[in-house]
């Protein structure tokens, strides 16, 4: 049996509370399907580590983590002691860039038992995957300020779209669409207003799309696309977007499908030259930390995505099926109107697996 090495990075706040339940679910699936997992826990990146050492992680973090098959990540951030841009740039954004995790993947599904904020939507109406380009685009650090403090003051920040960066994200999205029943891909653009980079993006969608004749593809400008997410999310299957547009859509999508407490995400290096990272969409939620009431389902679903990426589709399906069952007739945390605590929900799901 091949043993998968997984680094556990629980982080801050409720990351520390939901992580044990994520591990519990993965262990239950691993036992059922005979999968070997070797866990190693780290107390960084975290704001506690920052307070003691003045940085979110040790300098040799890359060497320490590079040999793992996956990073299982809770949440970082504790704005009372460390500003969010420091905790984020000092951890997650380093992983994304230096481990070349160029795909950010977010499945968005409206599940039975989860109240939907949109009117007249039934479970099954929302079932999409958002693929966000995760390493370049609008989030370049190219630019600067000039003539600061004078009337001539100006700031400039460039967006960077490379052929390699755009194509590999699009290929991933088309491959994914090809494997799904609807075989439909929607591209987010804004080529009517952003006149250089977005027409290029559109061109590459056409070029890559030509290799996937079975996949029907269309495009929408980001403004109307956001409106359609809310008005008619059932239109979408795979949605591919640049870094900024994907960032926005991948928060909007889970919001349309109910509580943030159940939404998972993955930062993938599909070539597997570096470890990929699996993290809930939610943050460290300081407002509810310490009460053991955080919903562990997002973390548990991340565990399912991790096992899928490690080659265990059957284990993924078993965890997701247990989550679905728990949402219908199992214990619920307060964000879903229940009174159960984090541990009780995690134990119930592990038992169902
Ligand atoms: P980020 O750290 O990603 O910037 P944030 O700090 O703005 O996010 P979160 O930490 O995700 O926000 O919390 C947003 C709201 O959602 C909070 O009120 C929090 O209590 C709630 N929340 C987040 N995660 C969960 C969860 N797993 N269970 C229940 N409520 C949650
Ligand atoms: Mg936060």
Structure-block tokens of residue 258: 């109910």
Same domain assignment for residues 283 and 350 = yes
pLDDT greater at residue 334 or residue 260: 334
Q: What is the pLDDT of residues 18-51, one digit of tens each?
A: 999 999 999 999 999 999 999 999 999 999 999 9
Q: Is residue 161 part of a domain?
A: yes
Ligand 1 center from residue 294 Cα (angstroms)? 9
77 in contact with ligand 1, CB cutoff 6 A = yes
Q: What is the pLDDT of residues 92-151, one digit of tens each?
A: 989 999 999 999 999 999 999 998 999 889 998 999 999 999 999 999 889 999 999 999
Is residue 219 within 8 A of residue 187, CB to CB? The reply is yes
The predicted pLDDT at position 10 comes to: 98
Domain boundary, last residue among 196, 223, 257: 257
The predicted pLDDT at position 258 comes to: 85
Q: Is residue 108 part of a domain?
A: no
Q: Which residue has the tokens 């040999």?
A: 67
Percentage of the chain beyond pLDDT 70 is 100
The predicted pLDDT at position 2 comes to: 80
Q: What is the pLDDT of residues 138-151, one digit of tens each?
A: 998 899 999 999 99
CA distances for 83 relative to 73, 80, 89, 218, 346, angstroms: 19, 7, 10, 40, 31
Is residue 31 within 8 A of residue 64, CB to CB? The reply is no
Q: What is the pLDDT of residues 217-228, one digit of tens each?
A: 999 999 999 999
The closest ligand to the CA of 332 turns out to be 1
Which residues are 239's β-sheet partners? Answer: 130, 186
Q: What is the pLDDT of residues 188-224, one digit of tens each?
A: 999 999 999 999 999 999 999 999 999 999 999 999 9
Could you tell me how many helices (H) and strands (E) the chain has, helices first? Answer: 12, 12
Residues around the ion ligand 2 (C-beta < 5 A): 77, 283
Strands 216-221, 103-109: pairing is unpaired
332 in contact with ligand 1, CB cutoff 6 A = no
Q: Which structural domain, as residue segments, surrounds residue 271?
A: 1-101+264-353
The closest ligand to the CA of 336 turns out to be 1
Alpha helices in 34-162 (DSSP H): 47-53, 61-66, 84-89, 92-98
The predicted pLDDT at position 217 comes to: 98
Same domain assignment for residues 289 and 321 = yes
Ligand 1 atom 14: the closest Cα is on which residue? 285
DSSP state of 339: -
Contacts of 295 (CB under 8 A, 6+ apart): 18, 259, 261, 262, 333, 335, 336, 342, 345
Q: What is the pLDDT of residues 236-249, one digit of tens each?
A: 999 999 999 999 99
Same domain assignment for residues 90 and 23 = yes
Residue 1 has pLDDT above 80, yes or no: no
Q: Is residue 329 part of a domain?
A: yes
What's the CA gap between 238 and 168, in Å, rounded? 15
The predicted pLDDT at position 188 comes to: 98
Atom of ligand 1 nearest to the CA of 18: 27
Q: How many domains does the chain have?
A: 2
We report the CATH number of the domain holding residue 276 as 3.40.718.10
Residues 168-189, mean pLDDT to the nearest whole number:
98
What's the CA gap between 105 and 221, in Å, rounded? 20
Contacts of 101 (CB under 8 A, 6+ apart): 95, 134, 135, 267, 268, 269, 274, 276, 277
Ligand 1 center from residue 282 Cα (angstroms)? 5
The predicted pLDDT at position 140 comes to: 86
285 in contact with ligand 1, CB cutoff 6 A = yes
Neighbours of 286 (CB within 10 A): 14
Atom of ligand 1 nearest to the CA of 280: 27
Pocket test for ligand 1, best of 16, 285, 327 (most atoms within 8 A of CB): 285
What's the CA gap between 249 and 6, in Å, rounded? 29
pTM confidence score = 0.94
Confidence band of 259 (pLDDT split at 50, 70, 90): confident
63 in contact with ligand 1, CB cutoff 6 A = no
Q: What is the pLDDT of residues 305-320, one digit of tens each?
A: 999 999 999 999 999 9
Same domain assignment for residues 51 and 164 = no
């Amino acid at each position: 049996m091949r043993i998968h090495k997984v680094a556990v990075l629980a982080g801050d706040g409720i990351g520390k509370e939901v992580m044990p339940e994520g591990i519990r679910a993965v262990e239950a699936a691993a036992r059922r399907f005979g999968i070997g997992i070797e866990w190693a826990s780290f107390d960084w990146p975290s704001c506690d580590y920052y307070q003691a050492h003045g940085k979110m992680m040790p300098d040799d973090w890359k060497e320490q983590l590079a040999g793992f098959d996956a990073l299982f990540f809770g949440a970082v951030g504790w704005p009372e002691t460390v500003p969010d841009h420091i905790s984020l740039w000092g951890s997650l954004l380093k992983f994304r860039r230096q481990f070349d995790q160029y795909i950010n993947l977010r499945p968005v599904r409206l599940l039975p038992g989860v109240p939907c904020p949109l009117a007249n939507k039934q479970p099954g109406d929302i079932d999409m995957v958002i693929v966000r380009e995760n390493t370049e685009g609008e989030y370049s650090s190219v630019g600067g300020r000039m003539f600061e403090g004078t009337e001539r003051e100006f700031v400039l920040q460039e967006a960077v779209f490379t052929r390699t960066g755009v194509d590999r994200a699009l290929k991933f999205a088309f491959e994914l669409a090809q494997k799904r029943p609807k075989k439909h891909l929607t591209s987010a653009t804004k080529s009517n207003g952003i006149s250089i980079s977005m027409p290029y993006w559109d061109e590459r969608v056409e070029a890559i799309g030509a290799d996937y004749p079975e996949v029907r593809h269309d495009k929408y400008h980001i403004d109307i696309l956001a409106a359609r997410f809310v008005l008619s999310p059932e239109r979408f299957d795979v949605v591919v977007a640049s870094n900024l547009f994907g960032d926005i859509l991948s928060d909007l999508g889970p919001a349309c499908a109910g509580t943030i407490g159940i939404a998972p995400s993955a930062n993938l290096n599909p070539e597997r030259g570096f470890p990929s990272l699996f993290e809930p969409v939610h943050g460290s939620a300081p407002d509810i930390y310490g009460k053991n009431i955080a919903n562990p389902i997002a973390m548990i679903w991340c565990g399912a995505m991790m096992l899928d990426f490690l080659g265990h589709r059957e284990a993924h399906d078993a965890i997701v099926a247990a989550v679905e069952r728990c949402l219908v007739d199992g214990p619920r945390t307060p964000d879903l109107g229940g009174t159960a605590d984090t541990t009780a929900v995690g134990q119930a799901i592990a038992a169902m697996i």
